Amino acid sequence: MIPATPRIITVTSGKGGVGKTTTTANIGVALARRGRRVAVIDADIGLRNLDVVMGLENRVVYNLIHVVRGAVDAERALIRDKRVPGLMMMAADQHSDKDDVSPEEMREVCEALRAHVDYVLIDSPAGIEQGFRNALAPADEVILVTTPEVSSVRDADRVIGLVEAAGKPPPRLILNRVKADLVARGDMMTTEDVLDILRIDLLGVVPDDTAIIAATNRGEPVALGDGGRAGRAFHNIAARLDGEHVDVLPLDNHSGFFGRLSGLFRADGDGR
Amino acid sequence: MSAPREQPVPPKPPVAVKGRGRDVWISVVEDAPAEVLITSLREQLARRAGAFFVGAPVTLELRGDALDMALGVRLGGVIEAAGMRLTAVVATDAGQPLTNAQERGGRDAAAVPPPGDAAGALFVARSLRSGQRVAHDGDIVVLGDVNPGAEVVAGGSVIVWGRLRGLVEAGRATDGAAVCALDLAPTQLRIGSAIARAPEDPERVPVPEVARASDGRIMVESWRHSA
């Protein structure tokens, strides 16, 4: 099922270090493995790392800044991932900074790509300043990545307000690095706790998975394979983006609907 | 040639009751006269009555960006009568972002305007997110939540028909101001010169409360009248 128009999706978070780049790379891989043509763009100018995470660093010749300055066409700056047909990446430039690109220029770059792809995924830098505004400008849709921690949820809430004020549709949430054992003990926010504050649609929940660390260091996104808890979550997210209905994987036996229902009865049994 | 087992499809009710985790979301999905909505909700809750709903926190979603408070109160009554707790009312179409003008006002801006300049109540028909700030010389009514990191600053009183978890300052321009919320849990609460913060108690069950200043101290009491 090919989407009617190419979709430009910005992946953002507010807080740094919550897993935007890893998430963007893995969703790109997962979508491409479903047969879509996907261009992943690193908009984190000055602190680029999308190419590293995807293991394409040593093939970068032209980057986003070259395209913006008109030195090359957007297509020339796209690196085709040999592991996954249909997956392409455009790197950021490490030596410029975020003020060297304008929102309008970002829009033009994405327009130039529209004919070649089904999805453009833009990896936004952290923060809410110019880099974020540049990354947001071309977006048709926004994905918000957050971890179940008070500070990152607070920043995510702020970002949702800015996204809506920019006239974009409400972002969809990916809750990243969820640790089922901490959630069960009450030491980590539940998905419901996060949704209680952010009140946006949930796109997916990605469990904390130590395999990600090695994968990042090797430049092999986990979605290249079929196994792994995080990998499966990314594949489910790609399926949902493609319009499929996929149930959210339960973290463990007690986090499903009936698990929570029985928990409600136990609490009432205390006579509160 | 008619298909076997063909049955008339029942019309979808104008009020949808959905479980979302521990919470219950009651949404007005179709415009209909108030009596129709109230009857529909009452019937659905009666049909599904059981331990599941007792004490469950409810978010009520109304349609349109000009909220019908009278309807909200009546639906709230049906919800409370079914043993649930109404914790927030939100408007589905109230997607208007707060204008820059409202967000630009700094905390130190302007001496407090004299009472009598208050331009009636400011009606905010949506929730406030972290980083958003509403300031007004008169009273402020928020139909929705005030998230942690959001600020409400009023010359008069502040009423939050939802969960107040951000920063609230009332009574900058008048005496006798109050702060009311369905769930009064602000990070910081100021009325006039009195200041307080919500006690940290993850076990607390939220009830509607009113806060007022008395002798420079904040006093909080429950809003419910005994039935």
Percent of chain A with pLDDT over 70: 90
Would you say residue B210 has pLDDT above 90? yes
Please, what is the average pLDDT of chain A? 89
ipTM: 0.74
pLDDT tier for residue B201 given thresholds of 50, 70 and 90 = confident
Partner A contacted by B54 (CB < 8 A): yes
pLDDT at position A272 over 70:
no
Q: What is the pLDDT of residue A262?
A: 44
Top-confidence residue, B98 or A193: A193
Give residues 156 to 185 of A whose Cβ lies within 8 Å of B.
Answer: 157-158, 160-162, 164-165
Inter-chain touch A157–B19, beta carbons under 8 Å = no
- Give the whole-angstrom CA distance, residue A143 versus residue A173: 6
Q: How confident is the model at residue B68 (pLDDT cuts 50, 70, 90)?
A: low
Domain ranges of chain B: 15-91, 100-106+113-222
Confidence (pLDDT) at B104: 32
Spell out the domains of chain A, with CATH numbers in brackets.
7-269 (3.40.50.300)
pLDDT higher than 60, residue B102: no
At B22, the pLDDT band (50, 70, 90 cuts) reads: low
What's the gap between Cα B184 and its chain centre?
Answer: 11
Query: What's the gap in Å between the CA of B2 and the closest CA on chain A?
Result: 31
Q: Which of A159-168, B118-127, B172-181 is the least confident region?
A: B118-127
Cα A82 to Cα B11: distance, rounded to the nearest angstrom: 53
Contacts of A272 in chain B (CB under 8 A): 205
Gyration radius (Cα) of chain B, Å: 20
| Residue B225 pLDDT level (bands cut at 50, 70, 90) | low
Residue B19 touches partner A, C-beta closer than 8 Å = yes
Determine the pLDDT at residue A253: 40
Please give the pLDDT value at position B119: 47
3 state SS of A84? coil
pLDDT value of residue B91: 56
Task: Note the pLDDT of residue B21.
Answer: 64
Mean pLDDT of all residues in A22-43: 97
Q: Give DSSP secondary structure letters for B129-178.
A: -TT-EEEESS-EEESS-B-TT-EEEESS-EEEEEEE-SEEEE-SS-SS-E
Residue in A154, A157, A260 nearest the CB of B22: A260
Quote the CA–CA distance of B170 and B195 in Å, as a whole number.
10
CB-based contact B54:B79 (threshold 8 Å): no
**Polymer length of chain A:** 272
> How confident is residue B161, by pLDDT bands cut at 50, 70 and 90?
very high
Q: For B15-91, give the CATH class.
A: alpha beta
Q: Under an 8 A CB cutoff, do B55 and A268 touch? A: yes
Taking all residues of chain B, what is their mean pLDDT, rounded to a whole number? 76
At B53 the pLDDT is: 64
* Residues paired with residue B122 on neighbouring β-strands, in sequence order: B140
Residue A115, pLDDT score = 85
pLDDT band at B64 (very low <50, low <70, confident <90, very high): low
With an 8 Å Cβ cutoff, are B148 and A199 in contact? no
Residue A130 above 50 pLDDT? yes
Q: What is the DSSP string of A218-262?
A: HT--GGGSS-SHHHHHHHHHHHHHTT---PPPPSSTTSSHHHHHH
Cβ separation B21–A195 shorter than 8 A: yes
CB distance B129–A196 less than 8 Å?
no
The model's pLDDT over A137-192, given as tens digits with 9 standing for 90+, comes to 999 999 999 999 999 999 999 999 999 888 899 999 999 999 999 999 989 999 99
Look at residue B5 in the predicted model and tell me its pLDDT: 57
Scanning B19-68, the segments in alpha helix (DSSP H) are: 34-47
The answer to whether residue A97 scores a pLDDT higher than 70 is: yes
Q: Considering the entire predicted model, what is its pTM?
A: 0.70
Task: Please name the residues in contact with A235: beta carbons below 8 A apart, sequence gap of 6 or more.
Answer: A30, A33, A223, A226
pLDDT band at B106 (very low <50, low <70, confident <90, very high): very low
Domain B100-106+113-222, architecture per CATH: 3 Solenoid (2.160)
Q: According to the model, what pLDDT value does residue B117 have?
A: 35
pLDDT of residue B59: 75
* Range B113-127 average pLDDT: 61
Which of A57-66, A101-110, B47-56, B152-161 is the least confident region?
B47-56
> How far is B71 from chain A, CA to nearest CA, in Å?
23
- Number of neighbouring beta carbons within 10 Å of residue A80: 13
